[in-house]
Structures are given as structure tokens and as C-alpha cells.
Amino acid sequence: MTTRTSGHTQVSGIFPHLAQVAELGPPRSEIGVGALMPWAGSLYVQNYNSHQEASGRGVSLRRISPDLSMEIVPETLGVDGTYTNRFVHYPSNQLVIGPHVIDTEHKIRTVPELQPLRVCGTSRHLTDPENLVYVLCMEGELFELNVHTLECRQVADLNVELGTAGVRGEIHYKDCYTSFGRLVVCSNEYHEPDWAGEQAEGRLAEFDGTEWRILQRKPFTAISGRHEFGGTIFATGWDQASAILEVFTEADGSWTTYRLPKASHCFDHKWQTEWPRIREVEHERLLMDHHGMFYELSPWAYGGRIWGVRPISTHLSALADFCSWRGMLVLGGDNASPSHGLNPTTAEPQSGLWFGKTDDLWQFGRPSGWGGPWWLSAVEAGQPSDPYLMTGFDQKSVHLENQGDRTATIALEVDFHGHGRFSRYTTLTVEAGASAHHAFPPGFGAHWIRLVSDVDTQASAQFFYN
């Protein structure tokens, strides 16, 4: 539907005059929306190209006013790169976005040390949050930045600390978040060797101020929470079997792995998961974008478990960020990339912004997807699988494959309450080298489901929801 708003044309929530468009030459790869941040009455749009060497005119920080006029922030002309971070430092009342620090009067200062780097995350400092923030860059450089003086010093090389490759373009650090005495970082390296099991370069890791601890050797893309308010930290990732939601709960001081469906295999590569986010878009409610599906998510956990995870809709969009601004939900995409000539049918790098309301998301594609807790997995007798999401989908079925040399009886256990207490639903017997299928009756649902085998074996378990 095409209408006029404030003198501007909009089509189904998209205002063409707000498109992020880079100059056609020199050739560049893309101009995605790396970060959206409402600040001091305006909406800041930090766009990005994919590599430092793709620099040129037309990529910069932009500012949208309440009348929906947009300007290129003049102080940032010529400052371009891969910038996808945004963070409000409340003690100093300043916004950190890209390599810039912005005060409430829209005065902008740029950090020289960060300008040439691919800045992907900013978070609280563990020991001096009044003055310092952590800044993470995509090649694994971790900095401390003084938001008053702009003194910036590198404090870690995460390729060394976490044992990752560290070759430019071959490692993909994505996000950082600090809460409950830990700095959590992630990378989403996932290529053919990772899929084939020849390497495991993706990371989810935490730092307590003295040492680093690797939590997962899998690709992760986003880390978020509401600090002390909800007592949780959320991190999203994936592997061959399914999408993953890793959750830290303050109540028990531990991490729990939950598994979710994949809405699309178009997100099964490090370059195709371009900063899906977890954001508060309505008061005290989180919106999670994960592997092609939106979910509603509560920041609260009870008994060390989360249960209010519900799918909203599916989508194909590469959405690098989203936020609430002046009562609207704003989605920022990465829409058209010539990819240095590798995409011969796309000429001009550009991306758009979508404006609507949160409840509009229920009009997107209906929740559907596939995945499960096992994929050619070594299964231990009596050991329950990770819980897999079951609520919010229509028709549901499961396919089991026993790759072992012994017949396996596999129990399907469901958690109706959502707090980690499972009861047996049914059992399926799967002969060695064979498979089995079960279709759940219409209307059957639970928050979570898990599987338990009675023998050691190698097995796959994949659920299909449609």
C-alpha cells in the first residue's frame, strides 16, 4: 500500500527517501544498516560496507529527524567501514556508535584507533564502568575506551586468547556483552570445513577479569540481556542440528543450552547471519531475530529456566538491527549487494528501513522450521538431549535415525510447564541402521521436548514444524 506521510511517500512501511544508498563507484560490496539508535530526539543510522578495502564516498553515519528528513552527519564524511556497534554509556550520557562518541547535544568525536577497524560491539567495563567501555572488532581486537578522553588501548587479541584463526576474512567476531561479572564475546565462523567437522572456529566465550573460558566452539551471532533487571544473558548461535539459544541465569550462575528450529538454511553461513539481534522493542519485552524467525522473549527466568519463548513469524530479510523510535518499530536491512561483481544482476549497493509497529510482525510468514537436538550425534544411554522448542507451531512431526549397530528405544519427554520438569510422552523403537517417524496429534504442544536413548549409539533427531 502506497501512502503519503509527512510529505513523504511510503510503501508498506518503507520510505524510499530514507534508503541507504552508496555511490556507484568505486565498486563496493554493500551498504547495510549496521546499527540503529534513537538518541536525543533523532534516529542514528550507522551503515557499513563489508571490508575496509571497500572504502569510498557514500558510506557514513546518517541522522533522521522526527519529520523524517535525513542528513549525512557532516563530521563523519570519509569515515566508512564495517561498523555495527551501538551502546549508551549512561554514567557520561553519551552514545557510542561505530568509532564515534556522541553527546546529548549531538557533538560527535571520532576515535582514531577505531576508525580503520571493523567495530562490531561495545559493552560495559568490568572494573571501571564509570569511565571505560569495551570495544570489540571483527578480527578479534578487544579495546578499552575511555569515553571522556577517548584514550583507546588494545587489551586482548581474542585469536590468541580463544585459539581462533585470526586471518582477515577468515574469522568473524560479532558481538560482546557484559553483565554479572563476566564479559561475553562471540564469533560466527562457519564455512565448509566447520560444517564438515574438520574445524570448529566459532566461539562463545566469557572473561571474568582474570581468565577466558570457552563456552561453545560453534558459531554465535548475538549476545544481549537487560543487565540486572532480568537476571539473564542470551546468546544466539547454531550448528548442523538446529538454531541454539544459550542462556545464563544469575540465580544459579550457569549456562543452559536450548535448541530452536531453523526457519531457513539461508542463514547457515557466517556471511549470511549479518548481526541478527535481541532488542527490547516494547517496555520490558525482548524481540529476538534468530535464523530467519522472530521470537518474543522475556528477560526473566524462574528457577534457572526460561519458558516464555514464542515464535512470531518467519522472514528472509537480512536484518542487521532494529529498534523502537517514537512509537514505531524500525527494521534496518542489508538488501542489495553487488559483491564486487560476484552478483551480476545487482548494480547499486543499497538498503532500506522499514517502519511499522511491533504487532505487525505477526502478519509476516507463519512460524515454521526444522531442526532438533541430534545430527549424526554420539548419544549416551540415559543422557537427555538439549531441550528443543515445541510451542507456537501447528503441525509437528519428528524423524529419528539410528546410525548405530544396536536397536535403540528412544523416549520422547515433554515439558508442559516450561520450567525444566519433563515427563514421558511416548517411546519409539528404532532398529540399527533404520529410521522412524512420529506425527504429533493436532493441537498437541508443550514448551520443550527432549529425547533419551536406552543405549549408546549415533543418532539424528529432526523435528519438522509447519
Structural domain boundaries in the chain: 1-80+317-367, 111-314, 369-465
Percent of the chain predicted with pLDDT > 70: 95
- Tell me the C-alpha distance between 408 and 402, whole Å: 7
Which residue do the cell numbers 536491512 mark? Answer: 333
Does the pTM surpass 0.85? The reply is yes
What is the Rg, in whole angstroms, of the alpha carbon atoms belonging to the chain?
23
∠ CA 106-353-362, rounded to 5°: 125
Query: Is residue 54 helix, strand or coil?
Result: helix
What are the two backbone dihedrals, phi and then psi, of residue 361, each rounded to the nearest 5 degrees? Answer: -60, -25
CA distances from 343 to 271, 332, 348 (A): 15, 21, 11
Residue 254 has a pLDDT of 96
Q: What is the mean pLDDT of the chain?
A: 93
* pLDDT above 90: residue 246: yes
Residue 1 has a pLDDT of 60
Which residue do the cell numbers 515445541 mark? Answer: 390
Give me the mean pLDDT over the 36-64 stretch.
84
Sign of dihedral through CA atoms 290, 296, 301, 307? negative
* pLDDT above 60: residue 169: no
pLDDT higher at 349 or 376: 376
- Tell me the C-alpha distance between 83 and 55, whole Å: 12
Give me the mean pLDDT over the 208-213 stretch.
97
Residue 275 has a pLDDT of 86
- Tell me the C-alpha distance between 261 and 294, whole Å: 11
Of 309, 283, 284, 306, the C-alpha closest to 296 is: 309
Inter-residue contact 245 to 255 (CB < 8 Å): no
Residue 154, C-alpha cell as written in the block: 588494545
* pLDDT above 90: residue 16: yes
Report which secondary-structure segment, H or E, holds 192: helix 192-195
Residue 347 has a pLDDT of 79
- Count the alpha carbons within 13 Å of 381 in the hemisphere toward its beta carbon: 8
- Count the alpha carbons within 13 Å of 150 in the hemisphere toward its beta carbon: 14
- Tell me the C-alpha distance between 322 and 270, whole Å: 20
CA distances from 33 to 82, 234, 410 (A): 10, 23, 46
Identity of residue 3: T
Give me the mean pLDDT over the 119-125 stretch.
97
* pLDDT above 90: residue 60: no
Topology of the domain covering 111-314: Methylamine Dehydrogenase; Chain H (2.130.10)
Any residues with CB less than 8 A from the CB of 344 and at least 6 apart, and which? none
Residue 342 has a pLDDT of 82
Residue 149 has a pLDDT of 98
Residue 3 has a pLDDT of 62
Q: How confident is the model at residue 274 (pLDDT cuts 50, 70, 90)?
A: confident
Residue 53 has a pLDDT of 54
Q: How confident is the model at residue 218 (pLDDT cuts 50, 70, 90)?
A: very high
Residue 67 has a pLDDT of 96
* pLDDT above 90: residue 358: yes
Report which secondary-structure segment, H or E, holds 259: strand 254-260
Give me the mean pLDDT over the 414-433 stretch.
96
Of 54-63, 94-103, 171-180, 426-435, least confident by mean pLDDT is: 54-63
Percent of the chain predicted with pLDDT > 90: 83
* pLDDT above 70: residue 329: yes
Topology of the domain covering 369-465: Hypothetical Protein Tm1070; Chain: A (2.60.290)
- Tell me the C-alpha distance between 253 and 262, whole Å: 28
Sign of dihedral through CA atoms 8, 47, 131, 161? positive
Residue 4 has a pLDDT of 60
Of 256, 292, 254, the C-alpha closest to 272 is: 292
Residue 344 has a pLDDT of 84
* pLDDT above 70: residue 18: yes
Residue 264, C-alpha cell as written in the block: 531457513
Residue 213 has a pLDDT of 98
CA distances from 301 to 86, 185, 293, 360 (A): 26, 22, 22, 27
Give me the mean pLDDT over the 48-64 stretch.
74
Of 107-121, 163-177, 231-245, least confident by mean pLDDT is: 163-177
